[in-house]
Structures are given as C-alpha cells and as structure tokens.
Structure 1
Amino acid sequence: MKILVIAKGNRVVDTLAGELRSSSVDLRSARTARAVFESLRHIDAVLVGFAADDLAAGSVGVCRAIRARSDVPIVALVDTPETGRHVLALRAGVNEFLCKPYRAAALVARLDMLRRSRTREPDPPDKLLLDDVTINFRGRTITVAGRTLQLTNRQYQILALLAEHYGAVCPKNALISRIWGDSWYGADQSLYVHINALRGKIGRPRVIQTVRGEGYRLASPCAMAS
C-alpha cells in the first residue's frame, strides 16, 4: 500500500514511519504542492496532519486542492475528537479522521478498507428520473433542469446505495457499514455532512428524504411534485 503523508514538520512523518516500518507500507512524504499533486496518481491514500488550531487553516486548503484533482481517500490525523470543528475538513474533502494514539495495525486496516471501498461499488441502474432530476450512474453525473453536475466518488457511492434500495428506506447503518465500515470514528457525522452536501449540490432537498430513526431514501416523482 502506498501512502502519502503531509504534515507541517517531520515529527508526524518520522513517527508514522517508525510505527509502519514492519507493516509493508510504502510511506511517502511531499514538501511542496507540486510534489503532492504529482504523487496523487501513484498512491492509495493520503494522511494529512492537522495541528490543534489548524482545522480551519492550511491543512483544509491542502485537502480541498487534493480533492479537486483526485478522489483518493484522505484521512486527517488529529489530536482530539472534536467533531464540530471537523465539519470544515469534511467539506474540504476529508473522508475520515484518526485520533491519537495512532495504532499502526488499526491504521493500516482502515486505510486498506478505504482503498477497497473505492472499487467495491454497488451496481445501480444506469439512470433514475426524479421529476426534473436525472441521476446518471454510468456517467456519475446528475442533471438538474438541464444543468449537469459532477459527483465525487463518495457522493456516487451514497446515491448508488440509495438506488439499490429505491422504493424503500436505505438504513443509515447500512450506508455507514458499506461505505465507511462499522468501526470508523466519525462515520455518522460524515454521512450527515455528505448527505447535506448532495442536497445542496442538487438544489432539490426532496430528492433525498430523511426517514427519522431509520435512514434515507430517494423520493418518487410524485413525492417530488407534492
């Protein structure tokens, strides 16, 4: 597994290198933006070190720039499980968070799960038509009133799973388990943020309906018009 580590100093990189030395991990680092972007095609995941006061500063900008170029999984290394401040990072493209202490075995297992989730995608129908919204799963696009929107990898996974359950509720636990894994810290909050981001991108809040206490479902055309 090839992992790119981005941190302000060498301490995080050196610590992780020591912990992962015996885990068959190809750990890489990048000191410039150009080096980061050139590495994206050749790696399986990115670890970004966040300082305690940095969740709204430079590291978020780095994640946003990476996400604009690639759907590679991004894991933020954080000091404390402060979920409220992590929303900014999620919106910038971070997939998950890992809090201290970083256990090498657990880190490798979770990164491997993220890597496999990029290719273990459900098999939805080619298209779904919901009023003036067309979800094209083959092209990974959404057309809203003739305007085409691009989907991120995670947004595609969520919509594909909802399409698998079309006509019924997709349980929240099923979404989390299939996309994040049962034990991922912050998966519940991450799902909430991604659902809201999808609704905002589509501009039709009723496309994805919340079923309180159960999960989410795609609306029927008649529900869209009501």
Structure 2
Amino acid sequence: MRTPAATPDPRPFRILIVEDDDTIGRHLESGLRANDYAPTWSRTGSGALAEAERAPYDALLLDLGLPDMDGLDVARRVRDRFPALRIIVLTARTDDIDVIAGLEAGADDYLVKPFSLSVLLARLRAHLRRQYTAAPLHEPVLLDDFVLDTAARRCTLDDAEVPLRPKEFDLLAVLARYADTAVSREMLMARVWDENWFGSTKTLDVTMASLRRRLAEAAESAPRAVRLPRITTLRGHGYRLETDPA
C-alpha cells in the first residue's frame, strides 16, 4: 500500500541514499520514489560527499560498509558540514559498540539490516516532521549562567555559544522546560524522537552522554567559573536538569 509522505511545502523531500549493494539500493530508491520522496543513489562514500555538496538534501540514508571508505567517516564529515541534515544509518552490524559508534559519529538514528520499507518510512517521516516543525517562540530560558533560546535555537554559557547537534539541542530544551522535575525516558523519546518510537532507546543514552560532554567542555573553556545546570540520571526512570546542584 502506498504511504504518502506528509510534507510542509510543495517540493518532495530530497533523500540521499549511500548503499553499495545493488539490490538494496534499487529497493530503497524505488520505494522512496513511490512514496513521494526524491531519492538520489550513490554507491560510494566519496560520491555521496560530492553529491551532498552539489545539492541540498533533507536526509541521508547511510550504509556503513562502503567500498571506498568507512561509513562512519562519511557520517562525521556530513555532520560537520551539514549539522541540520538528518542521518539514518543502515547497517548489518549488530554489536552495541557499532551502534554507539554510529550515533557518536553524528547519526540521528539507525536501522539494523534486514529491515522493512514500512519501518524505514515511519522513521524517516518522524525525523523529517520534527525537522520542519517550527520551534515555538518562547522567551529564552535562563538557568544559572546558561541561556537556552528555543526560537533562535541557540545555547549560550556566559555569553559564549555552545555548539549542539539538533538532537542534543532538542533534548536539552525538553529538560530545561521541566527544570528540577523528573522527566521519564519515555517522555524524552516521545518529545525528541517520535511519540510512536519502538525498539532500543540506546540513541537517547548516547545523545545524553554527548550533550553532557559538550556542556562540560563549554564550562571548562569559559574565561571564569560558571554555574552550569547538572543533568542527573534517575535510575529506572529518566533524567532531571538541576538548576542548583549545591
């Protein structure tokens, strides 16, 4: 059954497929086109990097086992060059360390092969819907020496901007909105990823670890001692952003 992609503007979403397997590549290309996406298929990492520079894309479907370079290197370079681009890793690697490596390299999500086209389309729609939903125009949130401006999507610590990836910013925004309140893992997955998310929530743990690291690095590089909200892990439940750790 044909599942139309809900788009916020008349143009179809442009999807860059990076897959060296002919059967999988053709299946993805034809399946996406049949569902109102505009796919471009590249069989190599270098070709994908060149294509990403040539035209704007909304999402990248990335196989890790490429003939010319490691897919993780492609993810890192794309994430550095195009921070807003959604990256979904498609991999046959099932070990936790491989999944974590993909997320650490900048991927927003991953699917382990073999997977169904319907599952891929559901994940893709969820990511694109959140990417193109306008952020609410709230007043900036002030927490200690830390400011989160959701309208401008800027995070600053002692007036210095903290570079955050899209999911890191979204995760921090939810925690800041409910500062000093316990927020469950289920709520974070629903608000930051998708309300119908199913499967592993390892992506939450990896994103949280990366967010903590970026905030700590920003605090360490500040010219003076700063007060930084602390993200506390609540075992068996979720997390809490504490505005007064003392």
Q: CA deviation at 1:132?
A: 2.8
User: Is residue 2:239 matched to residue 1:216?
Assistant: yes
Match of 2:72 among 36, 56, 60: 60
Cα distance in structure 1, aligned partners of 2:93 and 2:166: 27
- Secondary structure at the residue paired with 2:161? strand
Structure 2 CA distance, aligned partners of 1:211 and 1:47? 34
Structure 1 residues 176 and 195, CA, compared in 2 at 3 Å: closer, same or farther? Answer: same
CA distance in 1, matches of 2:239, 2:141: 16
User: Which of residues 230, 237, 246 in structure 2 aligns to 1:207?
Assistant: 230
TM-score, with normalisation over the residues of structure 1?
0.83
Tell me whether 1:46 sits opposite 2:60 in the alignment: yes
CA apart distance, 1:214? 1.7
1:86 aligns with 2:99: yes
- CA 1:125 to 1:169, structure 2 compared with 1: closer, same or farther past 3 Å? farther
Structure 2: which amino acid aligns with 1:51? G
- The answer on whether the counterparts of 2:29 and 2:41 sit within 8 Å (CA) in structure 1 is no
For residue 154 of structure 1, report the CA deviation from its aligned partner: 0.8
Q: 1:60 Cα shift? A: 0.8
- 1:137 partnered with 2:150: yes
Query: 1:47, CA displacement in angstroms?
Result: 0.3
State the Cα distance separating 1:84 from its structure 2 match.
2.0
Superposition deviation, residue 124 in structure 1: 7.5
Asked if residue 111 in structure 1 is aligned to residue 124 in structure 2, the reply is yes
3-state SS in 1 of match to 2:147: strand
Partner of 2:26: 14
Q: 2:165 matched to 1:152?
A: yes
Q: Deviations over 1:106-130 (max 9, x none)?
A: 2112211110011346648433333
**TM-score of the two chains, using structure 2 as the length reference:** 0.77
The percent of aligned pairs where both chains have the same amino acid is 24
Distance 1:168 1:7, change over 3 A: same
Please tell me the residue identity of whatever aligns with 1:47: L
Q: Is the 8 A contact 2:231 2:241 kept in 1?
A: yes
Q: How does 1:164-183 map to 2 (within 5 A)?
A: 164-181=177-194, 182-183=196-197
What CA distance in whole angstroms lies between the structure 2 residues aligned with 1:32 and 1:98? 19
SS of the aligned residue for 2:34 comes to: coil
* Superimposed CA distance per residue, residues 127-179 of structure 1 (whole angstroms, 9 cap, x where no aligned partner): 33333333333332333344321222111211111122223112110111222
Shift in CA distance, 135/156, structure 1 to aligned 2, threshold 3 Å: same
Aligned to 2:208: 195
Q: What's 2:222 paired with?
A: none
Task: Check whether the contact 2:189–2:197 (CA below 8 A) recurs between aligned residues.
Answer: no
Quick one: which amino acid aligns to residue 154 of structure 1? K
